[in-house]
Structure formats: structure tokens, C-alpha cells
Amino acid sequence: MQKNSPVRILAIESSCDETAAAVMIDGENLVSNVVASQMEIHARYGGVYPEVASRQHVLSILPVIKQCLAEAHLSLADMDAIAVTSGPGLAGSLVVGLNAAKGLAIGAGKPLIGVNHLEGHIYSSWVKKPGENRATVAEKAFPHIALLVSGGHTEIILMRDHLEFEKLGSTLDDAAGEAFDKTARLIGLPYPGGPSIQEAALQGDDTSFNFTKARTDKLYDFSFSGLKTAVLREVRNFEKNQVEIPKADLAASFQRSVVETLVQKTILAAEEHHVRSILVAGGVSANQKLRDEFAKHTDWDVFFPEFEFCTDNAAMIGAAGYFRFIKHQYSSLAIDVEPTWSISR
Ligand code: KG4
Ligand code: ZN
């Protein structure tokens, strides 16, 4: 590779229920981005149905990659590497993207880079859309604190440098997104629960219910299952008394409790580790109440991904893949999926 020549990465993501491909340049400039969502299919089951997800990935993966390259007006031969999510996630979903990436890497003679999905979410704050001049975290000095809140994970992570992560705490039971999804189901709101609770909460009073916040032995750990049970208890009471469930008030009070806990713990971690920048990532980072609460803490630069990069996408995998590429962290073609791959090991 010539010095200073742009590094083009084709990135592939299929860890859960989105089949996605993106072309990224130099870890921050998005060229093209395609996401085939299976949300409508899984909504029928009230959650992701792994067998169905895997089958859908098989059907979508090649058309998505082809469309992504076509929209970029580039071919496989123009790429410097193929980055792919190799974990964590659903094994039957991961394997589809990983095998497609291996095939392309072998066929085109390009390096293969296995990327951790959680690391990808954190790098979503680096992604800039074509023509976008937004200030990103790329200009800020390390360390950063990252709050990763998705359907499967809730973690506070100290990012000391590129690809250097230390997990400070995580959830002991439900992930934040999972808590939104399960609570939505309890109060009769549609899947996925995050967006439907956010919408219902707009009409509600968030002080109607004062749900107690869980205490955890370790400061940066989380626990959301008690909150879910508290909501269930309220729902049962309303049902027993044949009173209509106050969905909006329950949604607003639940959302306030989750958001306050997430923000408080993240700010404490930022203070303790003397960081100035906070990165919020994962599906729940799309939540407006979470964004509004963080905005009150003006002492910190808080970075959120663009809305479309909060939920699963391949642009973030291309950003993380770039930093692995420049460190020559290539993967062997024998690499397998790692459904439980933790971010710091
Ligand atoms: O990151 P993601 O797409 O998938 C995982 O890697 O898990 O996150 C999906 C999660 C779901 O639980 C969904 O309910 C939640 O993100 N989510 C939200 C919002 N949009 C998506 N949660 C709260 N508020 C939102 N606006
Ligand atoms: Zn995700």
C-alpha cells in the first residue's frame, strides 16, 4: 500500500437481524451503506427468531453486498480489506456474514479482518456520511468513556486508545434494550420496544410511578430485571382491578428510571477516569430522552452516532476494521464465529 493512499474497506455485518454491508474509507468516510432489516418478520414473534434470522441472512447477504459495491461505484478489486463481524451475536447469523467475507477475501486475494460487534458499535461515533462535516470524536484525545447500550449488552467501557478497551461494568441480568423490549411487551406496546416506549412516553407523566433503582455491588454494573418486575406488578394490579393500563405513564416512568441510571453511572465513570469525551453507542443510543439527559451535562463532550448508525449496520464495522487494518491485525481464513466474544480480553 502506498503511503497516504486512502484505505477502502468492504464491511459486512450479520450478527443479529440486520444483513448489512458498507464501504468505508480511512475508518471515517462512508461511501455506501446498505442494511436489509428483518424487523417486520421478527415482529410477528415478538423478538428475534434465530433460525429465521439465519435463513434471511442467507437470502440477503449477496444481494446486499452487490448493491453496496454498486452504490459505491467500486469493485471488490478496489478494496484493501474485507472486515466482518465475527462475534458476539447469534452463531447461525454470524456464520453467514463470516463465510461470505471469507469467500470474497479468498476470491479477491484481500486480507480478512474479524471485528468485534461491540467494538463496532463504539466506532459508530467515527462514521461520517458523504459530504458531512460534523465534528466527530476523531479529533479528541484519548481516553474516552463509552456507554454501550444495545439489545444484548449494557456496558461501561474505558477506551484508552484505539482498540484498547477495559470493561468497567456491565449488566447482571437484562440489557437496556432488552429491558425496553420486555417492558413494552408487558404493557402491550409493539416490538421493538425501544422506539414504541419512547413514543408512548411522549404522552405520559414520567413521575407517575417512582420505580426504585437497583443497587449493585459494583458501581458500574447494572440490573434492570427488578424494574421490569416492578412494571409487571403494576400491570397485574391494573388488570386485577379491571382498570385500563396507563401505558404512557408506565412507559415514561420506566424510561426515566433506565435513562437516569445509565447517565448517572456513565458520568461517575467519566469523572473517575478523568476523561472529557463520552461515547454513547448501540440501539438504545437512539433514545431521545437519553440524549436530552446527557445534554444537561455540559462539562463533557458527549458523542452519539447518527441515528441510522445507532442500530446494527456495517459502516461501524468498517470503521473498527480500519483501525485493525492499520495495526495489521488480520484474521486467518480459519477464523470461526465467536458468539460470546467479550470486548476486552
Ligand atoms: O444495537 P442493536 O440494533 O442490536 C443489538 O446489537 O442488540 O440494538 C437493538 C435494541 C433493541 O432492544 C431496541 O429496542 C433498542 O435497541 N432501541 C431503542 C431505541 N431504538 C432502538 N431503545 C430505546 N429507545 C430507542 N429509541
Ligand atoms: Zn448491535
> Given a cut of 90, is residue 17 above it in pLDDT?
no
Helix, strand, coil shares of the chain, percent, nearest 5, are 45, 20, 35
- Ligand 1 geometric centre to CA of 235 (Å): 23
Q: State the closest ligand 1 atom to the C-alpha of 15, by its place in the atom list counted from 1.
A: 6
Which ligand gives the minimal distance to the CA of 115? 2
> Given a cut of 80, is residue 41 above it in pLDDT?
no
Q: State the closest ligand 1 atom to the C-alpha of 89, by its place in the atom list counted from 1.
A: 6
Copy the grid coordinates of residue 194: 425501544
Range name among 47-56, 61-70, 204-213 with the lowest pLDDT average: 47-56
pLDDT value of residue 53: 84
Q: Could you tell me which residues are beta bridge partners of residue 331?
A: 112
* Alpha-carbon distances of 46 from 41, 52, 176, 186, 327, rounded to whole Å: 10, 13, 17, 11, 41
Q: Quick one: average pLDDT of 121-146?
A: 93
CATH number of 8-129+308-326: 3.30.420.40
Q: What is the pLDDT of residues 214-230, one digit of tens each?
A: 999 999 999 999 999 99
Any residues with Cβ below 6 Å from ligand 1, and which? Answer: 16, 150-152, 177-178, 180-181, 192-195, 198, 282-284, 286-287, 311-312
> Given a cut of 80, is residue 4 above it in pLDDT?
no
Q: State the closest ligand 1 atom to the C-alpha of 311, by its place in the atom list counted from 1.
A: 3
| pLDDT-based confidence at residue 258 (cuts at 50, 70, 90) | very high
Copy the grid coordinates of residue 186: 408487558
| pLDDT-based confidence at residue 37 (cuts at 50, 70, 90) | confident
Is 313 within 8 Å of 35 (Cβ atoms)?
Answer: yes
> Given a cut of 80, is residue 342 above it in pLDDT?
yes
Which ligand gives the minimal distance to the CA of 251? 1
Pocket-testing residue among 115, 180, 189, ligand 1, by greatest number of atoms within 8 A of Cβ = 180
| pLDDT-based confidence at residue 2 (cuts at 50, 70, 90) | very low
Reduced 3-state DSSP string for 260-295:
HHHHHHHHHHHHHCCCCEEEEECHHHHCHHHHHHHH
- Report how far residue 283's alpha carbon sits from residue 138's, in angstroms, rounded to the nearest whole number: 21
> Given a cut of 80, is residue 42 above it in pLDDT?
no
- Ligand 1 geometric centre to CA of 290 (Å): 12
Q: State the closest ligand 1 atom to the C-alpha of 184, by its place in the atom list counted from 1.
A: 14
pLDDT value of residue 345: 55
Going by alpha carbons, the residue nearest to atom 10 of ligand 1 is 151
Q: Are both 8-129+308-326 and 144-305 of the same fold?
A: yes
- Ligand 2 geometric centre to CA of 250 (Å): 26
Q: Quick one: average pLDDT of 75-99?
A: 97
> Given a cut of 80, is residue 48 above it in pLDDT?
no
* Percent of the chain with pLDDT strictly greater than 70: 99
- Ligand 1 geometric centre to CA of 154 (Å): 11
- Ligand 1 geometric centre to CA of 47 (Å): 12
Q: Where are the domains of the chain?
A: 8-129+308-326, 144-305
Q: b/e per residue, 41-53, with b = 16+ CB within 10 A?
A: ebeeeebbbbebb
> Given a cut of 80, is residue 43 above it in pLDDT?
no
Q: Quick one: average pLDDT of 122-138?
A: 91
SS3 of residue 46 by DSSP: coil
pLDDT value of residue 334: 95
Q: State the closest ligand 1 atom to the C-alpha of 178, by its place in the atom list counted from 1.
A: 12
- Ligand 2 geometric centre to CA of 176 (Å): 12
Q: State the closest ligand 1 atom to the C-alpha of 177, by its place in the atom list counted from 1.
A: 12
- Ligand 1 geometric centre to CA of 175 (Å): 10
Pocket-testing residue among 182, 311, 316, ligand 1, by greatest number of atoms within 8 A of Cβ = 311
Going by alpha carbons, the residue nearest to atom 22 of ligand 1 is 194
Third-level CATH fold of 144-305: Nucleotidyltransferase; domain 5 (3.30.420)
| pLDDT-based confidence at residue 344 (cuts at 50, 70, 90) | confident
- Per-chain mean pLDDT for the chain: 94
pLDDT value of residue 69: 98
Q: CB-based contacts of 73: which residues, under 8 Å, 6+ apart?
A: none
> Given a cut of 60, is residue 68 above it in pLDDT?
yes
Pocket-testing residue among 48, 149, 150, 155, ligand 1, by greatest number of atoms within 8 A of Cβ = 150
* Alpha helices (H) along the chain: 39-43, 50-72, 91-108, 117-123, 176-187, 193-201, 225-240, 247-272, 288-295, 315-326
- Ligand 1 geometric centre to CA of 207 (Å): 24
